[in-house]
Structure 1
Amino acid sequence: MSEKKKAFTNAEKQKRYRERQKEHGKKEMRGYLSPEARECYKLISEQTNWSDSIILSNAVRLTYAAYKNGQIGLLNSWLNKHDL
């Protein structure tokens, strides 16, 4: 007799995917975007064709670079001045 493979539900597939990502050292982050941030996201996505994950990773890395170089105040000031 041949055994049929059990089909995974969407929830099981998502769980397996998240577990694989964790094994690769990745961490899931969630949040809500302001209307201004959504517009920025849209423009970045259209110009670069980056995925959500790449956009988020680069945003965090750029913010950290500004922090490490003593430019976080300048970055924040620029964002506030330009309503972003």
Structure 2
Amino acid sequence: MTDTTGKPLTNAEKQQRYRSKQKKSGKKELRGYLTPEALACYNEIQQKTDWNDSLLLSNAIRLMYAAHKCGQVGLLHTWLTDHKR
């Protein structure tokens, strides 16, 4: 990859360009750390669905939102706690 002057782009410039394109398309980057329990769940879901990190996170947030709208967050939390997940 090169910029308009023909000079090759550095990795930092490529990352900045990529993030800028993602923001323009309406996407937002989220980061965080997973607990060991959440990581086990993540690995299981990833193996069963073959979703990448981005799709897995997007779907997890959408499902959590649906549970919230249906009044099921407490039920889900109880299930996770009971099953040590």
TM-score of the superposed pair, with normalisation by structure 1: 0.91
1:39: how far off? Answer: 1.1
Unpaired runs of at least 5, structure 2: none
Question: CA-to-partner distance for each residue in 1:42-80, whole Å, 9 max, x for gaps?
Answer: 111111110100000000000000000011110111111
Q: Structure 1 residue runs of 4+, over 6 Å off? A: none
Counterpart CA distance in 2 for 1:69 and 1:8 is 48
Unpaired runs of at least 5, structure 1: none
TM-score of the superposed pair, with normalisation by structure 2: 0.90
CA RMSD of aligned residues (A): 1.0
- Aligned residue in 2 for 1:25: 26
Q: Identity percentage over the alignment?
A: 59
Question: CA-to-partner distance for each residue in 1:9-42, whole Å, 9 max, x for gaps?
Answer: 1111111111100011000000000111111111
Higher relative contact order (CA 8 A, sep 6+): 1
